Amino acid sequence: MRADRLVAALLLMQSRGRITATELAEELEVSVATARRDLEALSAAGIPVYPQPGRGGGWSLLGGARTDLSGLTAPEAQALFLLVGPAAAIAPEVKSALRKLVRALPQTFRAEAEAAASAVVIDPARWGEHGRRRPELVDILQNATVRRLKVRLSYTGRGKGRTERLVDPWGLVDKDDIWYLVAGTDDGQRTFRVDRIIAADVTDLPAGRPAGFDLSQAWGRVVDEVEQHRSQLSATVLIQARFVPVLRDQFGRHCDVVATLDDGRARVRVAAPTPLMIAQYLAGWGALVEVVDSPPVRAELARLGAELVKLHGPPETGGQGVH
């Protein structure tokens, strides 16, 4: 994981004063090219890491060897924690490293560094959608979250018109490159898909945040609610085992292999909120997928098939043919 490599690279430079890309690659058991990219990423993020060309050169922290992080400015500390903070949600060793780094910071910088480290959570599990490009608004919202400032959102919800909201940004979640903003509103905690945010204007108003708020736990509750809704109906299908990864790509975590059969097929349980949604996912598979239970899903598939035949089937001819 790249985040813990960045922390390790910084700590190695602190302890040794200077390190080459080759030495870092050996320490981290990665390629020299990967080690060099990590060092360049630290430098590009605003951390005072600089290359020293020539014989005996390498990479070092500005000011030479240090045993703590007291040389970092507030923006530099923030940049570091924004880089590595998201990985703490899925890697305990990164969380441990971040705690040590926070203790090494000057007291005046600790609050901002902790806010940056907890501003983003990574959730790698899909909800049946492929990732997409990182929205440009993510950086704006992340900055507002760290600085604890209210944001005025122009938002288009699913099936709804454009609305205006003044929100307290509490954190961002990257779910397979689909981004969500968890925020406080007049109606309580709400979750907004960032790609549906038309505009986000950061105000000068201080944002509130519940005492002891934990973004990972808050997101966990959001996921539980969504999963409960998405798994209201299930169906069992038979499919060649080699196609299961593709099917799982469609249904996300709502795709469980029940059994593997002797004929090379797998018995798989899939779920979605409605029979139509399951049928829509399965219709493109044609005869490669057989629904063995759930009459409502089978009925929707039959209806969709009839519609396709009517729309795309060969035209009916009248009379005795063409003369």
Whether pTM > 0.75 for this model: the answer is: no
| Structural contact between residues 35 and 12, judged by C-beta atoms closer than 8 angstroms | no
3-state SS, residue 25: helix
DSSP β-bridge partners for residue 122:
174
When the candidates are 3.40.1340, 3.60.21, 3.30.70, 3.30.460, the CATH number that belongs to 231-312 is 3.30.70
Amino acid at position 230, single letter:
R
Quick: pLDDT tens for 83-107: 555 545 544 555 555 555 555 555 5
Parse the chain into domains and list their residue ranges. 2-117, 137-225, 231-312
pLDDT in the model for residue 152? 95
Amino acid at position 21, single letter:
A
Cα 157 to Cα 172: distance, rounded to the nearest angstrom? 17
Q: Which residue, 54, 72, 78, 59, is CA-closest to 17?
A: 59
If you classify domain 2-117 with CATH, what class do you get? Answer: mainly alpha
137-225 and 231-312 have identical folds: no
Listing DSSP states for 203-269 in one string gives EEEEPP--TT--HHHHHHHHHHHHHHHHTSEEEEEEEEGGGHHHHHHHHTTSEEEEEE-TTSEEEEE
If you classify domain 137-225 with CATH, what class do you get? Answer: mainly beta
Quick: pLDDT tens for 199-244: 999 999 999 988 888 887 888 888 777 766 655 688 999 999 999 9
User: Would you place residue 113 in the very low, low, confident or very high pLDDT band (cuts 50, 70, 90)?
Assistant: low
Cα 132 to Cα 135: distance, rounded to the nearest angstrom? 9
